[in-house]
Chain A
Amino acid sequence: EAGVTQFPSHSVIEKGQTVTLRCDPISGHDNLYWYRRVMGKEIKFLLHFVKESKQDESGMPNNRFLAERTGGTYSTLKVQPAELEDSGVYFCASSQVNEQYFGPGTRLTVT
């Protein structure tokens, strides 16, 4: 069974540009989560989808971040316009119930 995949693995963009991150969850997992780890700090929750619906988006930092999961399969996280403080590693995780399985992450660098 394939694990959670994320694309791209790395992205370097300039401040003000737009970046879209993609996550493909484990097949059959209705729950999809986005997390972010900034500069060696803790991994922080961003939002949670159940199928195509946003169940909890309490961790989204501001309206420059937009997450979608059309059709309830893969998800995208768009940052527009990117700011320097958005740099970090963005993780996606999927689950059926409790156990969340993480993807390899996308390292985003905003210069």
Chain B
Amino acid sequence: GENVEQHPSTLSVQEGDSAVIKCTYSDSASNYFPWYKQELGKRPQLIIDIRSNVGEKKDQRIAVTLNKTAKHFSLHITETQPEDSAVYFCAASYRRDSSYKLIFGSGTRLLVRP
């Protein structure tokens, strides 16, 4: 069935260091991969996404890479800041009968130590 695995479950880094979160998806038909950031008590916010026709996408300190052959995608945050501390979710989606349901990973709790 459809499944997304996410690692690590928790990640603690020093301010200024980089953080990498990795996800693996099972359904080769998946073609859209968003990343969400959820701060405590707030809604999940879309921070970056990538489509299957692209291998890498960057937005300031955030980048996402996609390896379709291996069915892996990763989130890279450089020069981490304390406000990056949150739970990050990866997701995979594909269009089936006009439905784009998201299959989420289990989340990574990122702590950036000042």
Contacts and interface: CB of A to CB of B under 8 A. Distances in A.
A56 B46 contact: no
A98 B101 contact: no
Nearest to B31: A98
Contact of B104 (A42, A55, A56): A42
B86 interface: no
Interface in B68-99: 89, 91, 93, 96-99
A42 B105 contact: yes
Interface string A23-52: 000000001010100001111110010100
B103 to A, nearest CB: 7
A59 interface: yes
Contact of B101 (A4, A45, A105): A45
Interface residues of B, number: 26
A22 to B, nearest CB: 15
Report the contact-size class of chain A (Cβ under 8 Å from the partner).
Answer: 20 to 34
A55 B96 CA distance: 10
Given A41-B106, A42-B105, A102 B100 contact: no
A3 B44 CA distance: 12
Contacts of B101: 33, 45, 48, 56, 58-59
A75 interface: no
A87 interface: no
A42 B36 contact: no
Contact of A91 (B44, B46, B51, B93): B44
A97 B98 CA distance: 10
A91 B43 contact: yes
A91 B44 CA distance: 9
Q: Which 5 A-B pairs have the closest CB atoms?
A: A56-B99, A43-B104, A45-B101, A42-B106, A104-B43
